[in-house]
């Protein structure tokens, strides 16, 4: 956990260093190769990972809330297991 806690400030420092010494480098994507060439599909935004048009509906909000609940429950279960492994009461 000590190393994980140091990661966000280190990334912020790296970002600031790049921004200060070569601000144009952050937005230069002309020579970047597509990791999945030909994967872009034209048509309605139905596949996962594509943006939809308009606001999410009730079904999408329920789906997002359910996923959020599952992730939160899994994190809580892992946290409790970590506490019990180290004999700490939570």
Per-domain boundaries in the chain: 59-90
Average pLDDT value for residue range 61-88: 92
Average pLDDT value for residue range 64-88: 92
Q: What is the sign of the dihedral through the CA atoms of 82, 86, 89 and 90?
A: negative
Instruction: Report DSSP state, residue 50.
Output: S
CA distance 82 to 90: 10
Closest CA to 67 of 89, 41, 48, 47: 48
Residues 17-68: pLDDT tens digits?
Answer: 887 887 666 666 666 676 666 665 555 544 456 677 777 788 888 999 999 9
Which tops the pLDDT comparison, 38 or 80?
80
pLDDT of residue 32: 65
Q: Enter the pTM of the model.
A: 0.40
Closest CA to 56 of 42, 45, 40, 69: 45
């Amino acid at each position: 956990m000590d190393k994980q806690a140091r990661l966000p400030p280190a990334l912020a420092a790296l970002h600031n260093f790049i921004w200060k010494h070569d601000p144009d480098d952050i937005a230069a994507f002309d020579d970047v190769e597509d990791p999945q060439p030909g994967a872009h599909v034209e048509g309605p935004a139905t596949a996962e990972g594509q943006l939809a048009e308009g606001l999410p509906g009730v079904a999408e909000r329920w789906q997002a809330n359910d996923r959020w609940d599952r992730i939160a429950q899994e994190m809580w279960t892992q946290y409790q297991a970590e506490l019990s492994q180290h004999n700490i009461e939570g």
